[in-house]
Amino acid sequence: MPLDPVGRADVPVRDAATVMLLRDGVGGIEVFLLRRVTGMDFAGGMTVFPGGGVDPGEGARIGWAGPDPQWWAQRWGTDEGRARALVTAAVRETFEECGVLLAGDTPGEVVADARRYGDQRVEIESHRMAFADFLRERGLIVDSGRLRAWSRWITPVGETRRYDTHFFVAALPRGQEPDGRTSEAAGVHWSRPAAELDRFRDGETRLLPPTWAQLESLAAFDTVDAALAARPEIAPIQPDLVRTATGWTIDFDGADRYLAQLPSGAL
């Protein structure tokens, strides 16, 4: 659908967290991806990573292991409360959208099989159960050490919904396997970043600029350990919507490559 951002300058920006789950495959590093249901209000039909908006009060009253909120606040350049909420949202959204749980009953450990919490997952996704209540009732502790901060993208002014999205990376925990049992996914798959970029160029998948940019950055790593050892500089990136003689286009560092690969008429 063509962009038409006129009159949308006052849309509020909501914090969001997204997790790029990684595993080592035969051909190199692989990342888990979801294709969102067509017709959704935001990014319908797009291929994305598990993630979503931060809930009010997220991160309060939960057990915590790994780097503390102050460390995460420094990494994200924010305050402790917001950092705690972002990490908690990343863990919650990963559990809701693909069934992978980055939490365990002892510090430094995660559950070996999260499928036992399938009923609670449904309750959390439908907002009938708070994630903090689930963790507390099951004696589980969020393991922030499983996550790494990767990048931060802000939706351009002019979109109907805007997010300040914080991208994390995490290795798929041993014994757990992600799935597509969420109301927001029409399909899921593992893919090498370079292969997914090829599919984008061939018009087989649809990628928003932030997803495309993360795949480009992940393609530089041969193994999960190498990606987790990286410490990329994080500065907020906010693309601009630009009017042209024929309509609208998008501008950001790397937009020339993105637009060159974008199928005709897809923006």
pLDDT, tens only, 19-65: 999 999 999 999 999 998 776 566 568 899 999 999 989 999 999 99
Q: How many domains does the chain have?
A: 1
Q: What is the mean pLDDT of residues 226-241?
A: 96
CATH of the domain at 150: 3.90.79.10
- The domain containing residue 177 runs over which residues? 13-261
pTM for the full model?
0.93
175-198 per-position pLDDT tens digit: 999 998 887 777 899 999 999 999
In a domain, 6, yes or no: no
Q: Which of 107, 63, 113, 106 is nearest to 87 (CA)?
A: 63
In a domain, 97, yes or no: yes
In a domain, 161, yes or no: yes
In a domain, 233, yes or no: yes
In a domain, 267, yes or no: no
Number of C-beta neighbours around residue 220 at 10 A: 12
108-157 per-position pLDDT tens digit: 899 999 999 999 999 999 999 999 999 999 999 999 999 999 999 999 99
Separation CA 181–CA 121 (nearest Å): 10
